[in-house]
Structure 1
Amino acid sequence: MSTARAAAQVAAVSSNGVYSFTKPTRESITLLAGLGVEGDVHAGTTVKHRSRMAQDPTQPNLRQVHLIHRELFEEVAAEGYEVTPGQLGENVTTEGIDLLGLPVGTLLRLGSDAVVEVTGLRNPCRQIDAFQYGLLKQVVSRDDEGNLLRKAGIMGVVHRGGTIRPGDTIEITLPPTPHVPLDRV
């Protein structure tokens, strides 16, 4: 008996109009071209992440949408951590897609209209340990060669707006080669 691989899809969507670590899940969210998630505190053309605003508030916002793979929740559950959609601050929880393996510039079509361009990796911070102590070590580690691994999702900018909901499909369009691996943004 063989099992078919599930198609890439949206598992959950989340947003929050105020700064907080977690974001409540929603029935749908609307992505706005060049801005991010409508009504979300991180939406805008310039950076909205507090530490980055302190450095230079005029930086372009490469973190308009945060996507995280639901499979990470299963991985950390095996180590005793319970995490559900929105709790790590993501806007879109995906399933059936290797987000961390995508190159910079990948286009993700979410549902029928919305398109997000992948800009890089989320750089997890100590707030994760404030949420659940020890969780940071689960989402930031080193491989056998000593390279830093960041597993807390990816960031992107909205190319084309649209409303997305749990169950929507995700189509992947890779950029031209050579592919640039993801790095923190």
Structure 2
Amino acid sequence: MPQPRVVAVSRDDQHRFSKVPVDSITLVAGHGVEGDAHAGAFVKHRSRVKRDPQQPNLRQVHLIHAELFDEALAQGYELGPGDLGENVLTEGVDLLGLPTGTRLDFGGPVVRLTGLRNPCVQINRFKPGLVKVVLAKDDGTPAGRPVGTSVPTVIRKAGVMAVVESGGDVVPGRPITVTLPAEPHAPLAPV
């Protein structure tokens, strides 16, 4: 696997599905990506605000592994940086396999993983059928398709969410240092 690194960064000051790729983003501790619609100490995702606007924002930064884009391309879906709403596109990091509380250091700025992004209907609105790439079962079948009598585990591949612990600028090409939390490790769950 290649050296973990930042491939691209994106942000958007509006609540849209995709974000705009930029040369750099600034992370603000306890807040998120400066100038991004999802930044803030309390939830900013519209569906979560409706439920309880005073919930802590565990989704300040959205990260996706570039390897997912390769998988999507193999299934006929071309994706570019920011297309799935991610702030940071990574390479060489098994984001989905990391435990909750893992810290990713971007050469100064540090985020702490809080959970998985739960794929939503907006993914299919963006590109019809794309949800089959980002949501599957551990037996290899697409989510939603009945299989035998066992109940397979659903695998969410639409990235991970994080909060900002140390602020600073993040730019493409920057190496990523991964620090696991103390054991026992808890797997990432949807947030």
Q: TM-score, normalised by structure 2?
A: 0.93
Q: Does 1:128 align with 2:123?
A: yes
Please state how far the C-alpha of 1:42 moved relative to its aligned partner.
0.2
Aligned to 2:169: 163
Please state how far the C-alpha of 1:141 moved relative to its aligned partner.
1.1
After superposition, residues 83-98 of structure 1 pair within 5 angstroms as 83-98=79-94
* Identical positions, percent: 58
Q: Secondary structure at the match of 1:75?
A: helix
- In structure 2, C-alpha distance between the alignment counterparts of 1:56 and 1:141, rounded to whole Å: 29
Candidates 38, 60, 67, aligned match of 1:64: 60
- Equivalent AA in structure 1 for residue 132 of structure 2: K
- Equivalent AA in structure 1 for residue 87 of structure 2: N
Please state how far the C-alpha of 1:113 moved relative to its aligned partner.
1.0
Aligned to 2:69: 73
- In structure 2, C-alpha distance between the alignment counterparts of 1:156 and 1:8, rounded to whole Å: 17
Aligned to 2:47: 51
> Where in structure 2 are there 5+ consecutive unaligned residues?
140-150
Please state how far the C-alpha of 1:41 moved relative to its aligned partner.
0.2
Q: Secondary structure at the match of 1:71?
A: helix
Q: Secondary structure at the match of 1:76?
A: helix
Candidates 99, 106, 116, aligned match of 2:102: 106
Q: Secondary structure at the match of 1:128?
A: helix
Candidates 155, 158, 165, aligned match of 1:152: 158
Q: Does 1:24 align with 2:30?
A: no
Aligned to 1:115: 110
Candidates 156, 172, 179, aligned match of 2:178: 172
> Where in structure 1 are there 5+ consecutive unaligned residues?
none
Q: Secondary structure at the match of 2:27?
A: strand
Q: Secondary structure at the match of 2:161?
A: strand
- In structure 1, C-alpha distance between the alignment counterparts of 2:17 and 2:116, rounded to whole Å: 17
Q: TM-score, normalised by structure 1?
A: 0.96
Q: Does 1:182 align with 2:188?
A: yes
- In structure 2, C-alpha distance between the alignment counterparts of 1:58 and 1:141, rounded to whole Å: 32
Structure 1 segments, 4+ long, off by >4 Å, are none
- What is the aligned-residue RMSD (CA, Å)? 0.7
